[in-house]
Amino acid sequence: MNIDFSKLSGKDIYKVVSSTVIPRPIAWISTLNKEGVLNLAPFSYFIPLGAEYLIVAIGHKSSGEEKDTLNNIKETGLATISFVSTNTMEKMNLSSNELSSDISESKEYNIEMKSIDSAFPDMVSRSEGAFFCEFDRIVDMPHMTVPVILKIKKAYFQNNICDENYDIKMNNIARVGKSYAKLDNI
């Protein structure tokens, strides 16, 4: 089948790309708003951009407004990215529901958070690891989705995940189309 993207709706383009660029890692991003409410949401249009930088593409709410994550990153300059394995998959999925910005997904869905570094938003307690990031810039693109570049400042891993040589064995799940996949060695 040949597909000409200029003839496709945005929805169909999304469908083709999401099912093709697979597996995608999931950034489970926690941010704080001005009032200190912790927001938590997953993003899979997410990839490293060189060693220290990450890019995450953030769309809009159904109302057309900015998503809380983007708003908070712009306001506070900070984001914590927790990684997702099968033990947190269900909660991660729940946290993608569109809640009002004064309601914390972590409280609403009983997702336990922990503080690793008081300078950054809390990470998900059950995650095997997290990156603590600073906002770098937004890439100006003529598109609905906003590509945000974050710089990794610090990382945390559970003791059984990372050794003193920084050999790291994460059990991340990945986004594949609308479902999820586990990693397997070949």
Q: Decide whether 44 or 127 has the Cβ nearer to ligand FMN.
A: 44
Q: What is the binding site for ligand FMN (CB under 6 A)? A: 26, 39, 41-45, 57-59, 61, 67-69, 93, 96, 98, 175
Least distance to ligand FMN, CB of residue 105, Å? 7
Structure tokens at 10: 């945005």
Least distance to ligand FMN, CB of residue 171, Å? 16
Structure tokens at 166: 């920084």
Least distance to ligand FMN, CB of residue 175, Å? 5
Q: Decide whether 162 or 172 has the Cβ nearer to ligand FMN.
A: 172
Q: Where are the beta strands (DSSP E) in the chain?
A: 27-32, 38-43, 46-48, 53-58, 78-82, 113-114, 123-124, 129-138, 146-157, 173-176, 179-182
Q: Decide whether 66 or 136 has the Cβ nearer to ligand FMN.
A: 66
Q: Decide whether 88 or 128 has the Cβ nearer to ligand FMN.
A: 88
Residue 18 makes CB contacts below 8 A (sequence gap 6+) with 175, 177, 178
- Distance (Å) of CA 135 to CA 49, 69, 83, 127, 147: 14, 12, 18, 22, 11
Least distance to ligand FMN, CB of residue 2, Å? 27
Residue 5 makes CB contacts below 8 A (sequence gap 6+) with 13
